[in-house]
């Protein structure tokens, strides 16, 4: 299997169009909302100079995004062995399906929240007005953020979408993408890879 075929198989059934549309929607909301907020605040008196930018700040939180992602990852790790067993025991599917949907929900909300944050960060990065830059520095959740952290956040957020859409498709309620590859792997490779990966992930989440 070459890299091109592998990448095609990793893409969930929902497709990259859904990914791009959702990302652009939430990034656009964050970006446009941030610019409008700082524009309105720049016209206000000093006492209200950060009224709307504070509202943008209150709308999204990095720690909450981390929490959603952590819960989604924990549920994802819990889903995989139950999903594997459901291929051989019908009773296991009664637990696997709700777990998959729940994991998908947390990944989806985290992805949307991350897209909103990225839009805010891009607005922060693009500010050129001295007065607006001062308002951003004083009131936005993130300040002095460069392009590299924005790209890193976008990459991690994309990974959340990849896992969420792979574990559960809301149209036909099946799994696809990377989860299909995992389920097709021989158990002699799957079991040690799962135990080591899940152990590392659990350690990182708990230690955080």
Q: Is residue 155 very low, low, confident or very high in pLDDT (cuts 50, 70, 90)?
A: very high
pLDDT of residue 161: 93
pLDDT of residue 71: 92
Q: Is the separation of the CB atoms in 87 and 143 below 8 Å?
A: no
Q: Taking the CA of residue 87 as centre, how many other CA atoms within 13 Å lie in the half-sphere pointing to its CB?
A: 12
Cβ-Cβ contacts under 8 Å for 205 (sequence gap 6 or more): 70, 73, 74
Ranges of each domain in the chain:
13-207
> Could you read off the pLDDT of 97-145 as tens digits, one per residue?
889 999 999 999 999 999 988 888 888 777 644 444 544 444 445 555 6
Judge residue 6's burial from the number of C-beta atoms within 10 Å of its C-beta, 0-12 exposed, 13-18 middle, 19 or more buried.
exposed
* Helix 51-59, helix 15-42: angle, nearest 10: 150
Q: Is residue 173 very low, low, confident or very high in pLDDT (cuts 50, 70, 90)?
A: confident
Hey, what are 156's tokens? 């991690």
pLDDT of residue 56: 72
The size of the chain, in residues, is 208
Give whole-number Cα distances, 20 to 111, 133, 158, 163, in Å. 12, 29, 10, 15
pLDDT of residue 145: 65
Average pLDDT, the chain: 80
Judge residue 3's burial from the number of C-beta atoms within 10 Å of its C-beta, 0-12 exposed, 13-18 middle, 19 or more buried.
exposed
pLDDT of residue 162: 92
> Could you read off the pLDDT of 22-53 as tens digits, one per residue?
999 998 988 888 888 777 777 766 544 566 66
pLDDT of residue 60: 66
Give whole-number Cα distances, 174 to 13, 19, 100, 143, 160, in Å. 9, 18, 9, 41, 18
Q: Taking the CA of residue 170 as centre, how many other CA atoms within 13 Å lie in the half-sphere pointing to its CB?
A: 10
Place of tokens 């729940």: 102
pLDDT of residue 53: 67
pLDDT of residue 49: 52
């Amino acid at each position: 299997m070459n890299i091109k075929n592998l990448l095609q198989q990793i893409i969930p059934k929902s497709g990259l169009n859904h990914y791009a549309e959702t990302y652009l929607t939430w990034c656009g909301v964050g970006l446009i909302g941030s610019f409008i907020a700082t524009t309105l605040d720049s016209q206000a008196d000093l006492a209200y100079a950060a009224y709307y930018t504070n509202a943008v700040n209150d709308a999204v939180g990095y720690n909450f995004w981390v929490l959603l992602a952590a819960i989604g990852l924990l549920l994802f790790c819990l889903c995989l062995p139950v999903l594997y067993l459901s291929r051989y025991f019908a009773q296991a599917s009664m637990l696997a399906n709700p777990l998959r949907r729940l994991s998908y929900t947390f990944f989806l909300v985290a992805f949307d929240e991350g897209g909103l944050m990225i839009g805010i960060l891009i607005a922060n990065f693009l500010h050129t007005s001295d007065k607006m830059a001062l308002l951003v520095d004083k009131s936005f959740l993130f300040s002095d953020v460069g392009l590299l952290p924005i790209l890193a956040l976008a990459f991690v957020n994309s990974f959340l979408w990849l896992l969420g859409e792979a574990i559960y498709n809301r149209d036909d309620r099946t799994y696809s993408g990377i989860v299909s590859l995992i389920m097709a792997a021989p158990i002699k490779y799957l079991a040690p890879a799962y135990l080591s990966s899940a152990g590392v992930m659990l350690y990182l989440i708990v230690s955080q």
